[in-house]
Chains A and B, each alone.
Chain A
Amino acid sequence: MNGTLRNDSRGDKVFSLVNGAIVTLFFISVLYPIVYIVSASFSDSNAVVSGKVWLWPVRPTLEGYAAVFDYKMVWTGFKNSVVYTVTGTALNVFLTVLAAYPLSRKDLYGKNVFMILFMFTTMFTGGLIPSYLLVRELGMLDTIWSMIIPGALTVWNVIIARTYFQMSIPDELLEAARLDGCNDFQFLWKVVIRLSGPILAVITLYYASANWNQYFNAMIYLKSQDHYPLQLVLRDILIQNDVDTAMLAADPQDAARREALKILLKYSLIVISIFPLLVVYPFVQKFLVKGVMIGSLKG
């Protein structure tokens, strides 16, 4: 698209070289920390602490992972996060489709009023305390419901889905289905959903990653550790440095070794927590990008 080699001038060659160098620099600065963390997590704990790890694992071990594996809270959190993410995302997608389809219809009477009702919530909110008091009033504190219901719908995703429906479901299809005696419920279920695979994938991924990564609601709504999602367990270990050293398989007398193992545990934990992302990501990347593209269109 941008010219071919043969008519490149000298200036263009310099430009391409500088451009390539700058992009490469950014590429490396994003990639390097990730590579380092993965390498460190597989290295000997003393090598990590004394700074012998630069790029590749040094004296590779699975010590760190063994420590994570023995750490009970991590698995409780992991299990809870799976439950919250799966049920939450199912509800998210269900409600989003229910909201987005009617809003995509030209003949919805009062459509502008509904759109304003939705959009206004993205510009103004009641705030932290009124929301907290509401959840408390509803008796959801410290229950799984507080992890699922208050964040059941994201207006941004409704808008993306609506834009997609408007673009991809032609009016003629609705007219034809009507002539065959199809009502709106049947049309949504039998036609719209079947034609909307890509957008369902996009919003499912957005919701799932938001649910999986979410910690703040859990922090204010949950009290008992048994209900903690993974992110909250990670916060205790990674940020509040609250590691139960009894769970580390090191000689309790050897303080230095215990400290080193604690750091290794953190690196391994970081890798484990981004592992699902690293595995799934290459396959779903195109959907994530697609969501941005649809979102950028003015509906």
Chain B
Amino acid sequence: MSMSVTGRKTRAARRTERRPAIKKLIHSWQLYVLMALPLLYLIIFKYVPMYGAQIAFKNFIVTKGIWGSEWVGLKHFERFVHSYDFWRILKNTLILSFYNLAASFPFPILLALGLNYLRGRVFKRAVQMVTYAPHFISIVVIVGIIRELLDPRTGIVNKLLGFIGVGPINFMGEISMFSSIYVWSDVWQHAGFNCIIFIAALAAIDPALHEAAVVDGASKLRRMWHIDLPGIMPMAIILLILSTGHVLDVGFEKVLLLQNPINLKASEIIDTFVYKVGLTSQVANYSYSTAIGLFKSVINLVLLIVVNKIAQQSKQASLW
């Protein structure tokens, strides 16, 4: 029975391969109809803005439209690179990004390893349940929580610090605290959920490896180091590649909400700058703002390709 089905399938597949292109197009017409609406969406809302990004090379004037505005070449890019803000903004973006990567990358792995060796089944489930949950709280509420808990007068954090004789510290008013507040609240919110993927990778490790190691008298610590860690390495590398491709994409919606006049010196990043130049300043400069955004997108894309190349060459996991 199953033989005949597979036999028919391969014959059908062979027939499909030999057909000319036009026949294949016609063969798939119903699938194209299904895809029409999503493709239309993609073209209008993703690719048209890419076409529109050409205003970065023009002096965009609304009445003249995208096509009618005059070309100015790299003027806006040069203006950005030479501007007083450039180095400060780039530095802020990179510091926040790498600090965040350094803190939020190892935590989910450590948590997954820890959970994997936890004895009590009920406790394990409780930990998972609770630590996954904050991932789904909105950024607005997270920042609201941060502000309430860190309040110098009424916040619980300063009350607890006062207990051991420290403070009160005006966390949101300290420029040097900004990046830590951003990064550690992110770890608090996402470490639990981000460990799911590693728990899955750990579950996929062949139990025979562990059994053999136990027979050989390997301690748990050694098994963790020699079996579990190598087992989840490919997944970790893929995730690292993915996040490198977004090194300049700091969670800007959160940064925007955390900003205040005092911490602005440390909290102005490329994306918040793009938003302010383009949409909130008195004289909105669409072209300049688009150029800054494009500058960032291109660097991201290049980084992604480069890191993936390196990963490919070192024969580790890669994206494509």
Segment of A59-67, A68-76, A119-127, A196-204 engaged in the interface with chain B: A119-127
Pick the contact of B219: A11, A184, A216, A282 (CB < 8 A). Answer: A11
Residues in A neighbouring B220, C-beta threshold 8 A? 2-3, 11-12, 15-16
Q: Is the CB of B141 within 8 A of A129?
A: no
Given the known interface contacts A51-B156, A127-B293, the answer about A239 and B52 at a Cβ–Cβ threshold of 8 Å is no
Chain A residues with CB below 8 A from B116, complex form: 2
B215 to chain A, nearest CB (A): 10
B286 to A: closest C-beta gap in Å = 5
Is A188 interfacial (CB-CB < 8 Å)?
Answer: yes
A27 to B144, CA, bound (A): 21
* Interface membership of A215, Cβ < 8 A: yes
For the complex formed, measure the closest distance between the CB of A192 and the CB atoms of chain B, giving whole angstroms.
11
- CB atoms of A127 and B197 under 8 A apart: no
A125/B49 in contact, CB under 8 A? yes
Is B16 within 8 A of A132, CB to CB? no
B-side contacts of A121, CB under 8 Å:
42, 46-47
Bound Cα distance from A17 to B196, whole angstroms: 23
B128–chain A nearest beta-carbon distance, Å: 8
Q: Which A residues are CB-close (under 8 A) to B119?
A: 16, 20
Q: Say which residue of B53, B134, B147 sits within 8 Å of A239 (CB atoms).
A: B147
Given A2-B116, A51-B159, A109-B21, A126 contacting B145 (CB threshold 8 A): no
Contact for A23 among B35, B38, B115, B145, CB less than 8 A: B115
A130 at the interface (CB under 8 A from B): yes
Given contacts A117-B42, A185-B30, contact A127 B145 (CB under 8 A): no
B interface residues, how many (CB within 8 angstroms): 99
Q: How far is the CA of A186 from the CA of B14 in the complex (A)?
A: 25
Assess whether A37 is interfacial by the CB under 8 Å rule: yes
In the complex, which residues of chain A have a beta carbon less than 8 angstroms from the beta carbon of B196?
Answer: 289, 292-293
Q: Is the CB of A296 within 8 A of B138?
A: no
Instruction: Enumerate A124-167 residues with CB–CB distance to B below 8 Å.
Output: 124-134, 149-150, 152-153, 158
Cβ-defined contact, A183 with B117, below 8 A? no
Contact-residue bracket for chain A = 35 or more
B175 at the interface (CB under 8 A from A): no
User: Does A234 reach chain B (CB closer than 8 Å)?
Assistant: yes
CA distance A269 to B140 in the complex (A): 12
CA–CA, A26 and B140, complex, Å = 23
With CB as the reference atom, state the residue of chain A lying closest to B284.
A129
Across the interface, which residues of A come within 8 angstroms of B34, CB to CB?
Answer: 98, 101-102, 184-185, 188
Distance between Cα atoms of A267 and B305 in the complex (Å): 45
Residue A246 lies at the interface, judged by CB distance under 8 Å to chain B: no
A95 within 8 A of B: yes
CA distance A220 to B217 in the complex (A): 62
Residues of chain A within 8 A (CB-CB) of B5 are 172, 175
A235 touches B257 (CB 8 A): yes
Taking a contact as CB atoms under 8 Å apart, the answer to whether B130 and A30 are in contact is yes
A1: Cβ under 8 A from any B Cβ: yes
Select one of A129, A183, A293 contacting B293, CB under 8 A: A129
Shortest CB distance B101–A (Å): 18
A-binding segment of B81-89, B90-98, B272-280: B272-280
- Binary per-residue interface labels of chain B (100-133) against chain A in the complex, 1 for a CB within 8 Å, 0 otherwise: 0000000000110011111100000011011111
B290 at the interface (CB under 8 A from A): yes
> A153 — which chain B residues lie within 8 A by C-beta?
38, 41-42
CA distance A131 to B45 in the complex (A): 7
Residue among A216, A285, A296 making CB contact with B132, cutoff 8 Å: A285
- Contacting residues, chain B, for A175 (C-beta < 8 A): 5, 8-9, 12
B27 interface contact, C-beta 8 A = yes
Q: Which among A12, A19, A20, A188 has the greatest number of chain B C-beta atoms within 10 A?
A: A19
Q: Is B177 an interface residue (CB 8 A)?
A: no
CB–CB A125/B31 < 8 A: no
Q: Is A244 an interface residue (CB 8 A)?
A: no
* CB pairs A–B below 8 angstroms (8 shown): A3-B220, A109-B25, A110-B25, A127-B293, A128-B271, A129-B278, A130-B53, A184-B31
| Ranked 9 nearest A-B pairs via Cβ | A126-B49, A238-B144, A130-B52, A127-B293, A213-B138, A99-B38, A184-B30, A130-B49, A102-B31
Residues of A within 8 A of B (CB): 1-3, 7, 9, 11-12, 15-16, 19-20, 22-23, 26-27, 29-31, 33-34, 36-37, 40, 48-49, 51, 53-54, 95-96, 98-99, 101-103, 105, 107-110, 114, 117-118, 121, 123-134, 149-150, 152-153, 158, 171-172, 175, 183-185, 188, 209, 212-216, 220, 231, 234-235, 238-239, 263, 266-267, 269-270, 273-274, 277-278, 281-282, 285, 288-289, 292-293, 296
